[in-house]
Amino acid sequence: MGWGTDMPQASDRLRETPSQTAGPYLHIGLAPSLAGIAGVYPADPGGVIAGPETPGQRLRIEGRVFDGDGGLVRDALIETWQADANGIYNALLDPRRGRCAADFCGWGRCATDLDSGTFAFETIKPGPVPGPRDSMMAPHICLWIVARGINLGLSTRLYFPEEESANAADPVLQRIENPARRDTLIAQSSEPRDGLSVYRFDIRLQGEGETVFFAT
């Protein structure tokens, strides 16, 4: 249909159009190998957060994403951002970045498995980082989640269960008034595997046990 001028509509009759999904193109554009598309990149970007020369406790994060009805979201994509074991970001805004290991990226990207809905990434445990007004933030990993039907990415954090004292003083966690809601940001320890510490972190988009998300 052309853009004719013979269909005027008064401004007071205009209606907002329905929200539209932004996908399902996440795997195709951001993790093409999982969509069976080869040759776009030598390897999908974000696959190596901390190389073998990066010091620190090696760990693996595993989890799934659930919708408001408790169903698995199998086409989600998760990006991560973290400091190294000394609490230093590989970022221009961190004046200490030159002290990071050469193979520490600090950024990662992984997609959920299209069959099982599971996401997983391997990295090192970050150290505490400076927070607002001379405070210190507990060791944490920032996560950003997108999926079919999510037009604006959701930002959250993963904290570690063994860091009880640091978590209790973390300025971001303390801004969450309901302690039960804070628990949605604490990963669960699992049995070590292949020399890695393993943590479970499920993300619930809505409903009971909904993960705390932050404005960006």
**Contact in structure between 111 and 35 (CB atoms under 8 Å):** no
So what's the pLDDT on residue 143? 97
pLDDT band for 133, please (50, 70, 90 cuts). Answer: confident
8 has a pLDDT exceeding 70: no
What digits encode the pLDDT tens for the residues 37-46?
776 777 777 7
So what's the pLDDT on residue 157? 98
**How many angstroms separate the Cα of 144 from the Cα of each of 104, 208, 215?**
19, 20, 11
What digits encode the pLDDT tens for the residues 176-204?
999 999 999 999 999 999 999 999 999 99
Q: What is the mean pLDDT of residues 60-73?
A: 94
So what's the pLDDT on residue 45? 73
Domains of the chain: 22-204 (2.60.130.10)
Q: Say if residue 136 is exposed, middle or buried (CB neighbours under 10 Å; 0-12, 13-18, 19+).
A: middle
Q: What is the mean pLDDT of residues 6-27?
A: 56
- Pick from 20-34, 48-62, 89-103, 152-166: least confident: 20-34
